[in-house]
Chains A and B, each alone.
Chain A
């Protein structure tokens, strides 16, 4: 594995930076075209209701209205997963949650579109609803969809229970019998929203001939193309999707919410249609992540060795079948080397918006519950929380709780760095507590395509297919520069549209820097091979007798020193005379992403008068394999930590008895603001991933996993009372005190 880098580890400016600080960058809602219409969506005011009838005639008659659609305008599709996505975009027959789309209009202005919405008459027949996970799972609960209950499950759970998973080895009961102390607790965590500042937005233009253009804010424009072309019944090749700059996603833009609606309206009206969600719509009808109800039981010896561990995770993921609790069940005990462990998970439907991933989806709440019980055991047995975690820590060769055996991982290194950090030994003020937690994320690989052109002036144009959500154009340019041996600023990386480069999976799972990185390095290798061939041709020697060193071809073997090296620029300049343009490309599906661990440490102060918790100091340690651009890695760690702090302290979807969302706005759904926080100190640990030529691991998601328990453990110490529910908002803390 390469260890000696010229470009990796430096901190150049990002290629998209200048446009973003001058207001020039084009986000989803920033594009307009001549003659476009504006669309709006009518949403259900009920948590669960049969749609008896929809009368759109008055809206259609309003001057300036060009198209009105309902669920009836969408034909059925073959894949049931696509059908769920389609019916989430536009209800068919039943409205399944407060905010569920039931009709949409396109008109000549926003004002006319808003007026038209009020003229649509919907007759509802209200049905019983359920929004709580435990209630939805109980027999007798109103069932969202019949016939989708997970096989193998009995009558003790309702038909809303659409998934069941179990991971582990050994027998936890044997472990509990051997333990000196066993603690079992039940936890609840609220649903939270990804909270990206840019609402979903798109501009669709679909002609009657089935050829279309779609501009949208998404984490995966190929995914958008596949799903939309299936829903619209058109060929994928005929729908060209371009990803705008994306104003945050965090997993929330890995599906479609509005794009099929805008395309259908455009098709019907014969004009381009712009559709932008309001913030209220974002909260009511996009995102959120799952809420949970979790039991965790851990048995420990007096010395701190975990003897047995068992978790039961019940997640609700909204109004359609979904599969995500599996990630929680796999993550729950991943940090530990255990003989007896089991983690079970149930996916449950409720009358809430359909869940979508949020940064390390499924892991934060599972790890919160496990790490809270770990903390309580350490307190009870008088053990040091870091030493105890070190004693049990997974390391290279550990058979993980979810099956695979770990290769080189950096949990021990992160724990040791945490223990040695001055933060850990700093004195604590009154009403203040210090919490620690581990965290884990898998990181993904997946399908990827990169195309790289060597230009005649010695520069390089690189096209990849993954929207840049965290600075990946910079990291990809850096890896290309490293591989080619040229300067960073001679490379321009762009995110191509779906017609310009091959298929690429969604930007998720912390996969882009890893997977696109591998494709970039391989594309560079292909270009280098061709450049060596060209040099060989010029020198009239065998291509095998040419090697690439420091950005130049040079003769090797018995030809060594016969000719002066030819740089990339020199070879490129005459490429037209040596065989034409030079390029490299790579398509593949790398799978050795390398898991990542983090350890967070936080000092919190709880005000006994108000119940308000403030974060006094925060340090986050994380193994990232190799930090390509350390400042952007730090940014990922800091951003993830703060999202986790919000989850722990403030953020929650609040539903009334009526099943309606009570806080669909940033005033009442309170994400952390600048004045809530101190500086967040990131500590980068580099244990190279053997599955990447430069040692890279994904780094974007792990940091949201540890904060929930770290903050909760700090609060428990500060208050002297432990909370078992998130968020730990001031009213709940006051009540517990």
Chain B
């Protein structure tokens, strides 16, 4: 079984890799590109810890094959912000103490960013339903929801 050669873009950078036909995008990101921010919590698309965007669309990278992403634009948590220039969602998660163990945090950040791109002014209920696919076992979600709502407000220029 020979490997497949794929050329694509991750976090704005052109990348190429060889992968097995049955290898997931999550495995490619973690094992071949050393981007370990996306996590595998279940491998079946139930937990959201591996959330990334693929051409702007939120996906569970454990359910996408590496071979499928040729010529795409992928964004992972590593592309959302840097230590010097955090995205408002990252900053508000820190400010609200909205993470404990932090394993779900990369997926939450990517998912919340995707929400705010298409809905800059979500209600609490809309945030809760959008993030229903991102499991968090530590926080009970309260502080995460508050952080996303207040990041959204800042991004709208309301409490900057």
Chain A residues in the interface with B (C-beta under 8 A): 11, 13-14, 16-18, 20-27, 29-30, 32, 110-111, 194-199, 245-250, 276, 278-279, 469-471, 629, 631-632, 634-635, 638-643, 665-667, 671-677, 679-680
> Quick one: given A23-B35, A197-B103, A471-B100, are A278 and B43 in contact (CB under 8 Å)?
yes
> Quick one: given A29-B39, A680-B140, are A639 and B100 in contact (CB under 8 Å)?
yes
A245 vs B46: C-alpha distance when bound (angstroms): 22
- For window 97-117 of B, CB contacts with A under 8 Å fall at 97, 99-106, 109
A276: nearest residue on chain B (CB-CB)? B40
B47 touches A666 (CB 8 A): yes
B129 touches A675 (CB 8 A): yes
A246 vs B100: C-alpha distance when bound (angstroms): 10
- For window 9-43 of B, CB contacts with A under 8 Å fall at 20, 22, 27, 30-31, 35-43
A675 touches B140 (CB 8 A): no
A679: nearest residue on chain B (CB-CB)? B142
**Shortest distance between the CB of B50 and any CB in chain A (Å):** 11
B67 contacts partner chain A, Cβ-Cβ < 8 Å? no
B140 touches A198 (CB 8 A): no
B135 contacts partner chain A, Cβ-Cβ < 8 Å? yes
B81 surroundings in chain A (CB, below 8 A): 21-22
B47 touches A642 (CB 8 A): no
B41 touches A635 (CB 8 A): no
Q: Which of B106, B135, B139 contacts A23 (CB 8 A)?
A: B106
Chain B 77-108, CB-CB to A under 8 Å as 1, else 0, gives 11011110010001001111101111111100
B77 touches A196 (CB 8 A): no
B102 touches A247 (CB 8 A): yes
A199 touches B100 (CB 8 A): no
A22 vs B125: C-alpha distance when bound (angstroms): 26
A22: nearest residue on chain B (CB-CB)? B83
A279 touches B42 (CB 8 A): yes
A34 vs B93: C-alpha distance when bound (angstroms): 35
A638 surroundings in chain B (CB, below 8 A): 139-140, 142-143
Question: Which of B30, B82, B142, B146 gathers most chain A CB within 10 Å?
Answer: B142
**Shortest distance between the CB of A681 and any CB in chain B (Å):** 8
A677 surroundings in chain B (CB, below 8 A): 128, 140-142
A268 vs B101: C-alpha distance when bound (angstroms): 34
B36 touches A23 (CB 8 A): yes
A669: nearest residue on chain B (CB-CB)? B46
Chain B residues in the interface with A (C-beta under 8 A): 20, 22, 27, 30-31, 35-44, 46-47, 49, 76-78, 80-83, 86, 90, 93-97, 99-106, 109, 125, 127-129, 131-146
A196 vs B41: C-alpha distance when bound (angstroms): 9
> Quick one: given A632-B97, A667-B46, are A21 and B90 in contact (CB under 8 Å)?
yes
Q: Given contacts A14-B94, A21-B81, A635-B138, could you give 11 more A-B pairs where the C-beta distance is less than 8 Å? A: A21-B77, A23-B38, A30-B30, A197-B47, A198-B39, A199-B41, A469-B100, A634-B97, A639-B139, A674-B132, A674-B145
A50 vs B88: C-alpha distance when bound (angstroms): 57
B135 surroundings in chain A (CB, below 8 A): 197, 666, 671, 673
B140 touches A21 (CB 8 A): no
A110: nearest residue on chain B (CB-CB)? B27
B129 touches A247 (CB 8 A): no
A639 touches B82 (CB 8 A): no
List 23 contacting pairs A-B, 8 Å CB cutoff, sorted by A: A11-B97, A18-B94, A23-B36, A23-B38, A23-B76, A196-B101, A197-B101, A197-B104, A199-B40, A279-B44, A279-B46, A631-B97, A635-B139, A638-B143, A639-B138, A642-B141, A643-B140, A666-B41, A673-B133, A674-B134, A674-B136, A675-B128, A676-B132
B81: nearest residue on chain A (CB-CB)? A22
Q: Which of B90, B128, B129, B144 contacts A22 (CB 8 A)?
A: B90
A-B residue pairs, 5 tightest by C-beta = A23-B37, A247-B103, A20-B102, A642-B140, A631-B97
B125 surroundings in chain A (CB, below 8 A): 675
B37 touches A246 (CB 8 A): no
B40 surroundings in chain A (CB, below 8 A): 29, 199, 276
A666 vs B62: C-alpha distance when bound (angstroms): 14
Question: Which of B140, B145, B146 gathers most chain A CB within 10 Å?
Answer: B140
A682: nearest residue on chain B (CB-CB)? B142
A469: nearest residue on chain B (CB-CB)? B101
B131 surroundings in chain A (CB, below 8 A): 673-675
A422 vs B81: C-alpha distance when bound (angstroms): 41
B132 touches A635 (CB 8 A): no
A97 vs B43: C-alpha distance when bound (angstroms): 23
B129 surroundings in chain A (CB, below 8 A): 674-675
A629 vs B124: C-alpha distance when bound (angstroms): 26
**Shortest distance between the CB of B125 and any CB in chain A (Å):** 8
> Quick one: given A22-B90, A635-B139, A638-B142, are A248 and B101 in contact (CB under 8 Å)?
yes
